[in-house]
Structure formats: structure tokens, C-alpha cells
Structure 1
Amino acid sequence: MNMVLTLLGHRYYIKCLNLKPKELKEEEYPKVSILVPAHNEEKVIGRTVKSLLLLNYPKDKMELIVVNDNSSDGTYEVLNKIRKEYKGYNFKIINTDKKTGGRGKSNALNIGLKNSTGEYIAVYDADNTPEKNALKYLIQVIYFNKELGAVIGKFRTRNKNKNILTRFINIETLSFQWMAQAGRWELLNLCTIPGTNFVIRHDLIKKLNGWDINAIAEDTEISFRLYNMGYKIAFMPLSVTWEQEPETLKVWLKQRTRWAKGNVYVLTKYIKKIFKNIEKKVVFDILYFFLIYFIFLSSVIISDIIFVLSITTDIKTSVSGNFFLLWILAYVLFILEVSIALTMEKGESGIKNLILIPIMYFTYCQLWMVVAIKGIIEYIKDKLFKKEVKWYKTERF
């Protein structure tokens, strides 16, 4: 499935090479409220806010709302200093405390939403530095297409050269975007909202009563609800933001476990509705997640157990066919699909990355098994013991 999506993503990339979004006149640009949830973001928030304030978008049509969500570090001091420096800009800071905030990204976004006045809502994470035209490209797409409930851009790894982990993350994010986002858009006009660099219609998010505060993968959950309303989510790769990725394995494991746990929540929330009155596109994504988190994962675990038993005990397995050759072909297929995805990004298909891809299969990719299992176990434990869902905020560097 991923190989098919990669090839379709490549076809969409070819189309994008000559893509020129329809320009709006200066007075036609709608008002946009940019929401940035920020909890203990002192290290990165200054750079983010400045890049957002300096976006190539009419200043009188843009408001920036940073929700300083119960921070205990110097986040507010950094924000207040920038607000004084950029006096002529529509920049609001909303401070929360233990009672009103500190309950995760969804809650912070809902607080920002209540204080927003824009026709469209844009969301950026606190570690992002979008390129100058990022917001303009998103608006140019959604403004002329009433079928779209949201439009998403692309995110790139700002600290990709820090160490081998960030290099692997860079390869993963690029291949995912061209495989699962561009490929699905080309195949079914289907995309999933990422956590950052996207625009959604204000009236729609109001109808949906904002973000689900129980969802720690709030981006996937809101995507499913938009599909179910009959709206599409488009992919606009010309809109680019650069974000900081985890630089240690410990932080990476915590972040990705939250993703896995959040996606399992979304899957269990919607899988029971699969045979009811539900959009076909939602069914495709439910099946996609089900294949990844249950069928594929359980197959790999069973396969590994059989392999370990066969070399440590007298138990022998006999399966007809040349499975060693099939495994080699599957390995080559993995290398090919990721390599194809990297050709769609300038400077990313160099010799360094091409050497890393075969290594990635045996190292970084195998860690996803640990993440998926951990995420499923944590989700089950929370359900059994009726624990309150807690948001893990990715540590910054």
C-alpha cells in the first residue's frame, strides 16, 4: 500500500512543480487568526513568534494568539518582550493557570479559538518557523474551494544535522508526507491534518465544538470529524514550516508513544461506527490505522517470536516457498519507496541519506514496534483504571 501511495505522491509532486496558486487581491485576503499553544517554550517561542509576525500576509488581516498555557519558565517574559518590540502588530497573549489550563494542546487551542475573530484559523506549534509565504499558500487554496474544510502544508526538520536520530526523523517525515499525504490526496482527495502548519474554516471548527480535549492526537481526530461532515482536506506542499525534532531517544520515545496512544484512541472511537452512516474516506483511514497498529504489528511480533523459538528451542517451522528471497525483495522495496520520496525534496537524495535508508530499516524503523506496543498498553491501562489522559509536551533543545 505504501509503495502505491509513494508512486501516487510522486505523480502529485510532478504536478506541483508547475503549480501556481491563484493570487488574491490585497483587499480580498480574509482575516486569519493564528493560534500557537505554548507550555514551557522559553527556548523556542521567540523565534517562532517573530517568524509568524513577519509572514508575507496583510498585517490588518492577521491576528496572532499565543496561549501561554500554565508555563513555569520564562515563556511569558519572552512573549511580552516581543509584544513591546512589535507594537503595531495584532498580537495577543493569553495566560492560563492550573484551573484554566495545563490540560494539553486541545484545551489550549479551544481557549485560543474562543478569543479569535478570524474567518480562518491557522495553527502552528511553538517550535515552528514557517517560510514567508506559508500562510498565503494555504489561504490561496482554501479560499477558492468551498469543498475544503482545511488545507495542510508541509513540515521540515530544522535540526536534521544534529545527530543520526534527527537525520532518521528527517527521512521519516519527508517520506511520510509524500507517501501518506500526497499519495492519499492524489488517490482519494484525502489528507490527515498534522499538528502544525494548517488552516481550517472558523465556522466549521465552531460547529465541531472545537478540539476534543480527550484526544492527544487531536490532529487526526479533528480530521475524521471533518471528513464525516463531507469536507475535504487538501495538501499544499508549497507551504513549508521548519520545526525542531527530538534530539534524544528518550524524548523521541515519549513523543511517538503519545502519537501512537492518541491514534489508538481515535481508532477505537471511530471503528465502531464503520458500518453505520459514515463517510467512505473515514473508512479508508480507519482501515489504514487498523492495518498499521494491529494487523502489521501483530504479524511482526508473531514472526519474531517464531524466529526466536526456532533458534533457541527444538520447535521447527516449515513453510513452503522461498521466503528468504521474499524478505530480500521486501527490503529492497522499502529502500526504493523511501528513496523515491526523498527525490521530491531538494538536496535530500544525496549519498548520506541513501546510505542511511538501509540502516534505518534495522534500527529506527524497529523502534516503532516498541512505540506502538507501548502506546497500545498505555491506552488500555488508562481505560481499565479510568485514568485522566495526560498530555506529554515534547522537550525543546
Structure 2
Amino acid sequence: MTISDVLMVIAVFCIWSLLLVNVTLIIAGYLYYIRTENEAVPEIKGEYPFVTIMVPAHNEAVVIGKTVESLLALDYPHERYEIIVINDNSSDNSADLLANIQSKYAGRNLIIINTDQVTGGKGKSNALNIGFARSGGELIAIYDADNTPERMALKYLVAELVNDSTLGAVIGKFRTRNRDASLLTRFINIETLSFQWMAQAGRWKLFKLCTIPGTNYVMRRSIVESVGGWDVKALAEDTEISFQIYLLGYRIKFQPKSVTWEQEPQTVKVWFRQRTRWAKGNIYVIVKNIPMLFKRSAGKIRFDILYYLSIYFLLLISLITSDTLLVLHAMGYVHTTIAGLSSFLWLLAIVLFVVGIFVTLTTEKGEMSLSNLCIILLMYVSYCQLWMVVAANGLFTYLKDVLFKREAKWYKTERF
């Protein structure tokens, strides 16, 4: 067996191992969705807990008005929640827009914090810490500036949390508001439903594990106080605080009936910058928490650490290796005796990919269509391949930041 054969076998084994893990998560997630479809959300007994909703916003004038209006319309007792918008060093007319809304709803608990380049402009974690210092809620909810949650979204999250003392946080899901804006947003819509929410449901079903998605979630105030707030160095502050919650002995539950709609990137340039930030942020969290693999107190969190390690390192390297060897074999530069088998497994992987994703779409009304089946096929050869470039770029820029001791920058997603 040649060296190229050995490398190919290792790469194919790693790819298929991770593929089977994701297929397992999809099956488990589908079963969880089916069960919760007819399962009632717990009721909030007695007085509703006071909730602080925080919205970090930097140059979000295009979307912030609609977001605040939707938060003010939530089906939750108005006197039992406050909204804190952290207008973080914005250079657009966000401050004026927010002031007008605050004046319009003068009787409501709407707090606007305007930071400058000294106190703000340092990323989402810093903005959340500023807002938290002004907050009064026993529960803390977070929504991104481009979100329009459904009226029951917050109530569903709170109901789950107050009825289970083992939960440190409860997450809902987000849907793509501008799904039909472009081919890219259709890809993102399918990615969100399959790779994020179905995987979240599967991880909860199998391991009672979930990762906070950055928006549409509620957590206990005591947790934020215990961990000292959000890590300002973490670009993926949601993943980072998820790990902290588990280390404190709590669980994070997924409640799919709590839905918020958000705007996704409509151009490849904006999408690439956003996803690179996500990749860098998750790599930072992985590196920071690798020591947890060797601590008994980490418990089930080891699965998440290994999962992220596999996705951002093992899978990336394996995909690059297998694709490179197949191309070089076709060009005659290297010889591998298992190229035929690798090609067969590659085609089989595509079939599993398409079938698995299409099955997840059956859980959402209007998503199971012939056009989406075609989108999934196109997605594999385009969007998914771009993910490798994003992951590689995220790893490269993370290493550059570490090597040159540069402060990680939080790039704001451009709105449309």
C-alpha cells in the first residue's frame, strides 16, 4: 500500500466517522421534533419572573426599529420585562431612531445605552457586559439587532427555565427572514434548519447538550454573575458561555417552538466575513477549553469539545487531503489503488447528505419541495465547499492573531 493509499484511507475513515455522527444526530433530532410537535410547553405558575432583554447593536439603523417594535409586542406581561438596547458606538442614525421609539413608548421599560469609542465599539461581549451592568432581571434574554421574534417566543423560553431547576439556559431557534432574497439565503435557510437546529435537537435528545446560538435564548442572572460576564476575547461568545454554563453543573435545553426570524447575509462577501468570524471564535473556544478533556468535572462537555475539534480540524484536514489526492490521481501525479472505492464512498456520502437534509425539511411547513431538493444538490458542490475555505481562513487568521498578538476584531454583519 502506497503512502497516498494510507492517507486516503485515513481521510475517508475520518470523513465517514463524522458523517455517521451527523446522520445519528439528524435521526435523533427528527425523533425529538416529532415528540415535541404534540407536546405542550409548561405553564408559568404564579408571578412571571422579571426578564431583561438585551440587544447589542452597532450601526443597525436598517433593522433596529423593527426589532425593538417586535420585542415590545411580545406576549409577556409588559411590567415583567425590560428591554435594554446597547447602541454600541454607532456612526449611523441609530441613536435618533431609538430615541423616537423610546419617546413613542414612554410608558414601557425601554432603556437605550449609547456608547462611544472609549466605552464601546469593542464587540458583542463588551456590549452585553455594559447592558448587564444596567439590567435588573432575574433572567437574561438576548436577541440580535436583526431579529423579529414571534409573540410567544420569550414566554416559551421562560416557561421551560422556571419549571426545571437543572436548566441554566433555554434556547429557541431562528429562521431565515429573507430566505428568498438570493440563492445564498436559500442555502443558509437549509443550513440553519439542518446543520444547526436538527443537530441541536439531536444533541439534546441523545446527550442533553445544546449550544447557545447567540440569539433567542434566556439564562439565569446568577450564571452571568458567577462567570463574571461575557468573555470579551471570545468572538463566539455564545459557544464560550455555553461551556461555562455546563461547567457550573447546569444544562441547556432546546425548545423549537420558540422562534425568531432574522436577516441573513445576501452576498458572498458579507457571508464570508461573518462565517470567518464564527470559525475564529469557535477555534478560540476550542483552544481555551481543550484542558477540559482531561478533567472529570467536564462531564458531557467533552463531547462538544471533541465535536468542535473534529469539525474545525479533523474534518477540514481530511476533506482537503482526500480532494487533493483524487485530483492529483486524476492528473497522474500520484497513484492510489483505492481511488475507485474513494469515489464510490464520496458519491454515497452525497446521497446520505441529500437524503438527511431533505428529511429535516419535513419538520417545517413549506420547506419540503422539489426546488429545495435541487437546492440541496447544488448546495453540496458549492456552498459546502466554500465552508472549507471559510474554516481554513478562520484557522489561518486565528493563528496570525495569536502569533502577532493582535486583538481579535468583531466584524458587524452588513444589513440589507
Output the CA distance in 2 between the equivalents of 1:145 and 1:102. Answer: 37
**Per-residue deviation, 1:228:** 0.9
Among 93, 98, 101, the alignment partner of 1:82 is 101
Among 216, 224, 231, the alignment partner of 2:235 is 216
Matches within 5 A, 1:118-157: 118-157=137-176
Match of 2:264 in 1: 245
Q: Which moved more, 1:175-184 or 1:84-93?
A: 175-184
Match of 1:293 in 2: 312
Residue by residue, what CA displacement relative to the aligned partner does 1:163-188 show, whole Å, maximum 9, x if unpaired?
A: 10000000000112343200000001
Q: Which moved more, 1:252-261 or 1:318-327?
A: 318-327
Considering fraction of residues, name the structure with more helix.
2
**Per-residue deviation, 1:277:** 3.5
Residue by residue, what CA displacement relative to the aligned partner does 1:273-294 show, whole Å, maximum 9, x if unpaired?
A: 3112432221000100111111
- TM-score between the two structures when normalised by the length of structure 1: 0.98
Match of 1:49 in 2: 68
**Per-residue deviation, 1:323:** 3.0
Output the CA distance in 1 between the equivalents of 2:92 and 2:159. Answer: 37
Identity of matched residues, %: 58
Residue by residue, what CA displacement relative to the aligned partner does 1:189-214 show, whole Å, maximum 9, x if unpaired?
A: 10000010000000111111010000
Given that 2:148 and 2:262 are in contact with CA atoms closer than 8 Å, whether structure 1 keeps it comes out as: yes
Aligned residue pairs: how many?
A: 396
Change (3 A) 1:70 1:82: same
Letter in 1 for 2:289: Y
Match of 1:101 in 2: 120
Output the CA distance in 2 between the equivalents of 1:56 and 1:314. Answer: 64
1:356 match: secondary structure: helix
Matches within 5 A, 1:1-397: 1-25=21-45, 28-319=47-338, 322-397=341-416
Output the CA distance in 1 between the equivalents of 2:366 and 2:377. Answer: 19
Letter in 1 for 2:32: Y
Q: Which moved more, 1:80-89 or 1:299-308?
A: 299-308
Given that 1:33 and 1:118 are in contact with CA atoms closer than 8 Å, whether structure 2 keeps it comes out as: yes
Output the CA distance in 2 between the equivalents of 1:162 and 1:321. Answer: 40
Given that 2:89 and 2:117 are in contact with CA atoms closer than 8 Å, whether structure 1 keeps it comes out as: yes
- Structure 2 gaps of 5+ residues are 1-20
**Per-residue deviation, 1:21:** 1.4
RMSD: 1.1
1:274 match: secondary structure: helix
Residue by residue, what CA displacement relative to the aligned partner does 1:239-275 show, whole Å, maximum 9, x if unpaired?
A: 0000000000000000000000000000000112311
Given that 2:44 and 2:163 are in contact with CA atoms closer than 8 Å, whether structure 1 keeps it comes out as: no
1:199 match: secondary structure: strand
**Per-residue deviation, 1:233:** 0.1
Given that 2:292 and 2:302 are in contact with CA atoms closer than 8 Å, whether structure 1 keeps it comes out as: no
**Per-residue deviation, 1:15:** 0.9
**Per-residue deviation, 1:326:** 1.9
**Per-residue deviation, 1:82:** 0.6
Output the CA distance in 2 between the equivalents of 1:292 and 1:23. Answer: 38
1:175 match: secondary structure: helix
Output the CA distance in 2 between the equivalents of 1:391 and 1:324. Answer: 40
Q: Which moved more, 1:194-203 or 1:177-186?
A: 177-186
Given that 1:65 and 1:92 are in contact with CA atoms closer than 8 Å, whether structure 2 keeps it comes out as: yes
Output the CA distance in 2 between the equivalents of 1:5 and 1:314. Answer: 39
**Per-residue deviation, 1:320:** 8.0
Residue by residue, what CA displacement relative to the aligned partner does 1:68-92 show, whole Å, maximum 9, x if unpaired?
A: 1000000011101111111111000
1:67 match: secondary structure: strand
Given that 2:326 and 2:339 are in contact with CA atoms closer than 8 Å, whether structure 1 keeps it comes out as: no
Q: Which moved more, 1:118-127 or 1:337-346?
A: 337-346
**Per-residue deviation, 1:312:** 3.0
